[in-house]
Amino acid sequence: MKSNDQFELKAKDAVIHFPEGLIGLAECKDFVLIENPNLAPFRQLKCVDSPQIGFLVLQATTVITNFFEYVPVREWESLGIGPTKESAFVIVMISSTPETSTGNFQAPLLVNYEKMIGKQLILTDAALSRRHPLV
């Protein structure tokens, strides 16, 4: 079994469907969230249909403990869940130093693990940045 096949098997069991895709990738709708102890606290979000497309993500509350409060209740409700700190992720950009690494807190990913659906939103709160420092 090739490693690509292993990825596909895992993906079928834990696919998160983003009905609208991600910003700039509307055609990419199915992703798998991969945990790797060597990357913790980060995870990989990989596209099932195009495994070359992937992102490093981080639970938003790792950096902003009350981040779930920045997300309007209607956004949580649209996924069928209440505000929860475990279900909001940000795409991160790792730089040469921790101090220059950032996360996109303006366009978080929300996930309903029971229904395995997600969405990416754009938040307009001025306190949030698409290049928010991780430390």
Question: Mean pLDDT over residues 116-127, rounded?
Answer: 89
Q: What is the pLDDT of residue 70?
A: 92
Q: Measured between alpha carbons, how far apart are the two ends of the chain, in Å? A: 40
Domain of 46, in residue numbers: 3-133
- CATH number for the domain including 96? 2.30.290.10
Q: What is the pLDDT of residue 113?
A: 92
- Residues 35-61: pLDDT tens digits? 999 999 999 999 999 989 999 999 999
Number of structural domains (the chain) is: 1
Q: Three-state DSSP class for 62?
A: helix
| Amino acid identity at 38 | N
Taking the C-alpha atoms of residue 45 and residue 104, their distance in angstroms, rounded to an integer, is 14
Strand partners for 43: 35, 57
Give strand ranges (E) for the chain: 15-17, 30-35, 43-47, 54-59, 88-93, 102-103, 109-112, 117-120, 132-133
Angular region, 58: left φ>0, alpha ψ -120 to 50, beta rest: beta
Question: pTM, whole model, 2 decimals?
Answer: 0.86
